[in-house]
Structure 1
Amino acid sequence: MSARSRVPVSMIKSELVQRIAEHNPHLYQRDVENIVNAILDEIVAALARGDRVELRGFGAFSVKHRPARAGRNPRTGAHVPVDQKSVPFFKTGKEMRERLNRGNGTSEAGA
């Protein structure tokens, strides 16, 4: 079975912490967990301030603002107001896209 034909599996934060700890045996797992939490907390705090977070080669996190609008209840068809909201947005970096598309037989010339 090739790697491309396997069923997608998600990784949760505790599994990420465990993998990083395995690759860095000189660090305690609790320290790795604190580092991962600190990074994620800083990204969230920056987005909450309205900042953009760019991790070169990986991607950029930003916030998109969606205006208030009139929605529709799919069950009853009644119109309902939908408040404005801010949603997180992630755009992959060029290096990540190239690594993900390397060797899959597609041409990147038209991308």
Structure 2
Amino acid sequence: MSTTPTSINKTALGHLVAAQLGVSQRDGVRAVDAVLEVITRSITGGIGVAVSNFGAFVPVQRTARARRNPQTGGTVLVPARQEVRFRVSPRLRETVQAADPAVATIRKNPKSA
């Protein structure tokens, strides 16, 4: 009986990339690591990262604000912080809604001649 995973970790993603590209599993994992490192450094520096037909990682600065502690009823100051949001592209949203993994791709359609 075969079970379908509900999620894929970074190593498994690297192995899938390696199979797609026809390279070693080690190179696939290194490629995934490199892409994630560039995305992380960009977002940390306040620069958003957009991937066509996939989505965008957008850094968001949250301001400091006062909130109420539900246990004591007292006011607590929540400090300012930087967060990251992910905005799904319309193409990826449509692909996921189609729910057909056999034809799921975010590659651009070829231009007509």
Q: Which bin holds the TM-score, normalised by the shorter protein?
A: 0.7 to 0.9
* Residue 92 (1) aligns with residue 88 (2): yes
Shift in CA distance, 75/11, structure 1 to aligned 2, threshold 3 Å? farther
The runs of at least 4 aligned residues of structure 1 exceeding 6 Å deviation read none
The question of whether the paired residues in 1 share the 8 Å contact of 2:14 and 2:30 is answered with no
Please list the CA deviations of residues 27-84 of structure 1 after superposition, one character each: whole Å capped at 9, or x if unmatched.
1111111110110010111111211111000001111111101122232222111000
**Partner Cα distance (2:7, 2:69) in 1:** 32
Aligned with 1:12 (options 9, 12, 16): 9
Correspondence for 2:71: 75
- Percent identity over paired residues: 33
Structure 1's unaligned 5+ residue stretches are: 1-6, 104-111
Which residue identity lines up with residue 44 of structure 2 in the other structure? A
Report the CA distance shift for 1:72/1:10 in structure 2 as closer, same or farther (over 3 A): farther
Q: Residue 16 of structure 2 contacts residue 28 of structure 2 at CA under 8 Å; is this kept in 1? A: no
Q: Is the 8 A contact 2:42 2:48 kept in 1?
A: yes
The equivalent residue for 1:109 is none
Give the TM-score normalised by the residue count of structure 1: 0.76
Q: Which runs of 5+ in 2 are unaligned?
A: 100-113
